[in-house]
Amino acid sequence: MATTPGTGPVRAPADVWAHALVFDFDGLIIDTEGPVYESWADVYRRHGEELSLEFWKTIIGRGSNYFDPLADLERRLGRRLEAEAIRAERRVRMVELVEALPILPGVLKWRAEARSLGARLGVASSSGRGWVTGHLYRLGIGDWDCIRCLEDVERPKPAPDLYTAVLDCLGVDSSQAIAVEDSTHGVEAAKAAGLYCVAVPSSLTGEHDFRRADLVLGSLSESSFAEVAVQAASERQPQEPPNRP
């Protein structure tokens, strides 16, 4: 049971079974995927090369240690580059783009509603902790019950480790948790960990295969957390055998 200022206790409906709501970060809370890609694509262009957007879309959700753009660029050029200077310049540009981004529709409402219904809040991200927590606090939403990032697990998404770590931290069973993801790899991670998963494609993941997701929304503003939790509960309840004549 949770309370909200001026309203007293707020109880979840009996059929809202979700005790935890776990968000991905990149592309889900803010749409960072475009700026991350564009800042690297600009580095490639300045060196006469092209970073394929179609390829980039396939690695979204896998984590920052899966593909090293600078190492790839050096391999293509056949020579070493001033890596430290390039990374610093590129990061400045990326931060400029990301800090102009708004929180995506429905995120704040889902957070508030989940809290009011007594659910615990988590973040499971394949990005580095400094990146994730820095932006969350900058956006004024640093108050999560648990945050687990790349440094906290051996295997990032699509392995289930991040979600398992968050659930262990929250003390909630996977059968009582909802994940929200924007990529195929994120959905695979959530499902492998046993969570009910809502997919919300980002600007770069609209073509991903979300068949493993339990529900696909164009935006979190399309539905409320309670509505999705009730739907998830009904889908997870064992079906009664049909009455025999």
Confidence of residue 182 (pLDDT cuts 50, 70, 90): very high
56 close to 67: Cβ distance less than 8 angstroms: no
Q: Mark out the alpha helices in the chain (DSSP H runs).
A: 33-46, 53-59, 69-77, 83-98, 107-116, 129-138, 161-170, 184-192, 225-236
24 close to 201: Cβ distance less than 8 angstroms: no
**Upstream peptide bond of 35 is cis (omega within 30 degrees of 0):** no
Active-site amino acid positions? 24, 26
* pLDDT, mean of residues 230-241: 73
The verdict on 22 and 76 lying in the same domain is: no
The verdict on 146 and 75 lying in the same domain is: no
Q: Domain of residue 175: give its range.
A: 2-31+103-236
CATH number for the domain that contains residue 9: 3.40.50.1000
* 3-state DSSP percent of the chain in helix, strand and coil, to 5: 45, 15, 45
**pTM for the predicted model, two decimal places:** 0.86
pLDDT for residue 63: 77
pLDDT for residue 16: 56
Alpha carbon distance 108, 205 (integer Å): 21
**3-class DSSP state for residue 68?**
coil
Q: What digits encode the pLDDT tens for the residues 3-49? A: 333 333 334 444 457 999 999 999 999 999 999 999 999 999 999 99
The verdict on 205 and 115 lying in the same domain is: yes
**3-class DSSP state for residue 77?**
helix
Model confidence at 91: pLDDT above 90: yes
CA angle 72, 75, 77 (to 5 degrees): 110
What does the block give as tokens for 86? 């390039």
Give the total number of structural domains in the chain.
Answer: 2
36 close to 131: Cβ distance less than 8 angstroms: no
Alpha carbon distance 211, 195 (integer Å): 15
Q: Is residue 244 part of a domain?
A: no
The verdict on 196 and 180 lying in the same domain is: yes
Alpha carbon distance 204, 193 (integer Å): 25
Q: Is residue 241 part of a domain?
A: no
Residue 4's beta-bridge partner residues? 8
Q: Burial, 238: exposed, middle or buried (Cβ in 10 Å; 0-12, 13-18, 19+)?
A: exposed
